[in-house]
Amino acid sequence: VQLVESGGGLVQPGGSLRLSCAASGFPFSSYHMKWYRQPPGKQREFVALIIPTGDGTHYADSVKGRFTISRDNAKNTVYLQMNSLKPEDTAVYYCAVLISSQDYWGQGTQVTVSA
């Protein structure tokens, strides 16, 4: 199983970023995919989830209405569109998948929201 995130960077408050996570080594279209984040000095926290077909999603209250998770099963990729970014969204963002009771994580991508 391999998960590779990309798309992070430095953005001003109110700006947007789109994160991508390229997956391989498992039947991507059969699994729920998730995004988590870990702010500096804090615990990792859930951000969003998308079901295998892509037509069901769930979000943390802190990002609801600003972030959108999506997936392209033909490309084995899950996305996180982040709009109206706030300084408190600063974190390392990880994609994750649970397979046979084991969590797999990518290496993470840094998102910094600052003026």
User: Which tens digit of pLDDT belongs to each residue from 62-73?
Assistant: 999 999 999 999
User: Which tens digit of pLDDT belongs to each residue from 54-108?
Assistant: 999 999 999 999 999 999 999 999 999 999 999 999 999 999 999 999 999 999 9
- H or E stretch including 37? strand 33-38
Which pair of structure tokens corresponds to residue 64?
A: 């609801």
Q: Residue 65 is which amino acid?
A: G
Q: Choose among 1, 3, 9: nearest CA to 71.
A: 3
